Amino acid sequence: MIKIKTQIPGKKSARILDGLKKRNGGWAVPHPIVFSGVGNGSYFKDIDGNVFLDFASQIASNPLGYNHPALNELIRKYNESPVKYAGQDFCVPEHLELIEKLIGISPSGMDTAFLINSGAEAVENAIKIAMYNRKKKKFSVSVDGAFHGRTLGALSLHHSKPMQREGFILEPNKKLPFDDSAGDELKELIKRNGAEKIGFVILEHFQGEGGYRMPSMKMVKDLNKICRENGIPYIADEVQAGMGRTGKFWSFEHYGIKPDVFSSAKALQVGAVVANKKWFPPPGGISSTWGGGSRIDMALGIKTIEIIKKEKLLQKNRVNGEYLLKGLEKIGFENVRGRGLMCAFDLNSERERDNFIIECLKRGLVLLGAGEKSVRVIPPYVIGKKEIDEALSVMEKAYRVVSERGFKHKGKICDFMGCGRSGS
């Protein structure tokens, strides 16, 4: 159960946060709490002894929660150094096992995978694979609200928040609307430029950072069909929505389509690109020192897939997701939406949303923002009805408080505010 016994952040956490704010060049912390490593299921303790309920899952990267016994037992086996190898050049057994596991949960014909370090690098390599044979390519195509990572190639595809792109040199890209007219706009681009000028089309089949939006069936089917008919590579970015979060292993499966290439990371614990062998460039075309070499990360990825299957977590996520959505609707939130345990709703403004997330945090519930005024609700797959009820009760109370006229947060927490602007 949630147990908050200090102000948030507590004194010990505040000291670390002050230091990080001063010294961490990437500082954009949306939650002023510091983890202690103690935790169980979807609950964790901070270093001040407060117990929080996590409905953000480390931005969808912690699907099995805290201190899962099977994962802890696995970690204990890796008690000799190094645990990290230069995996593309010096092979370890976990590399093949994870690739095989990943292919085993991918659509037929997607028989080859490449492992890398992060989500952005997975997207970066998906881009390289898709574009490799496109000699006349001039630009890429992505959609309104897209978020694909912070490396420059992936960043070129962004249409979420302008501040993410500002100040950088980017690759040429064209944006499609995020609605049923996307297919017509793509046809127009083809008419004006020629299909061969388009390097690839990329889509999140449940948009993450840009607003937790689900593309319509028509939008996805049209884009996929037009790409097929015109020989344009179609990439699915599954970094946030993949690995079972939506109740299927991959969010594109909800649309009955198959991409040419897809990226994964976060819940998989390593970055990965999956496609048919024919898409991959010749040896040396793609690589990275540590890709496929972090033995613990790969072992955790393998075990995560095994546990999702063994404990029937896809089905469990669908059932718990429906229960969660009903509860959110009952509270009266607007635009409640979701698939499986990838859920969201809107508040009236960005300010109200940020205030709401902070109020929930003060009351021990961790949530994240997305888009302009959405709240994402993405608990670990290990939750049950008890945790959902507890989270809903906190949300209901916090909503009442922040809806009062003139509501404003006070105290140390205000030094670290920035909810929903983390951008990942």
* Contact (Cβ atoms closer than 8 angstroms) between residue 60 and residue 378: yes
User: CB-wise, 131 or 235, nearer to ligand PLP?
Assistant: 235
User: What is the phi/psi pair of residue 389, to 5°?
Assistant: -60, -40
The count of residues interacting with ligand PLP (CB under 6 A) is 16
User: CB-wise, 45 or 158, nearer to ligand PLP?
Assistant: 158
The CB-of-242 to ligand PLP minimum distance in angstroms stands at 9
Which residue is it, tokens 């507590």?
Answer: 10
Stretch near ligand PLP under the rule CB under 6 A, chosen from 188-196, 233-241, 306-314, 317-325 = 233-241
The CB-of-147 to ligand PLP minimum distance in angstroms stands at 5
Does 147 interact with ligand PLP (rule: CB under 6 A)?
yes
Binder of ligand PLP out of 239, 257, 391, 402 (CB under 6 A): 239
Binder of ligand PLP out of 42, 118, 142, 251 (CB under 6 A): 118
What would the two tokens of residue 296 be? 């613990």
**Cα–Cα distance list, 198 to 131, 135, 158, 195, 322 (Å):** 9, 10, 17, 6, 39
User: CB-wise, 239 or 394, nearer to ligand PLP?
Assistant: 239
Stretch near ligand PLP under the rule CB under 6 A, chosen from 49-57, 117-125, 312-320, 340-348 = 117-125
Binder of ligand PLP out of 32, 41, 87, 119 (CB under 6 A): 119
* Contact (Cβ atoms closer than 8 angstroms) between residue 377 and residue 399: no
User: CB-wise, 51 or 59, nearer to ligand PLP?
Assistant: 59
State which of positions 157-216 bind ligand PLP (CB under 6 A).
Answer: 204, 208-209
Q: Exposed e or buried b for every residue in 147-173, given b needs 16+ CB within 10 A? A: bbbbeebbbbbbbbbeebbeeeeeeeb
Binder of ligand PLP out of 68, 137, 148, 295 (CB under 6 A): 148
The CB-of-422 to ligand PLP minimum distance in angstroms stands at 9
Stretch near ligand PLP under the rule CB under 6 A, chosen from 87-95, 234-242, 250-258, 411-419 = 234-242
Residue nearest to ligand PLP (CB): 119
User: CA-CA distance, 146 to 166, in Å (whole number)?
Assistant: 15
The CB-of-237 to ligand PLP minimum distance in angstroms stands at 5
Does 29 interact with ligand PLP (rule: CB under 6 A)?
no
Binder of ligand PLP out of 149, 233, 291, 340 (CB under 6 A): 149
User: CB-wise, 9 or 63, nearer to ligand PLP?
Assistant: 63
Binder of ligand PLP out of 48, 222, 237, 346 (CB under 6 A): 237
The CB-of-366 to ligand PLP minimum distance in angstroms stands at 16
State which of positions 289-308 bind ligand PLP (CB under 6 A).
Answer: none
Show the site string, 53-92: x = touches ligand PLP by CB under 6 A, - = not: ------x---------------------------------
Binder of ligand PLP out of 115, 126, 214, 265 (CB under 6 A): 265
Stretch near ligand PLP under the rule CB under 6 A, chosen from 76-84, 225-233, 235-243, 326-334 = 235-243
Chain contacts with ligand PLP (rule: CB under 6 A): 59, 118-120, 123, 147-149, 204, 208-209, 237, 239-240, 265, 424
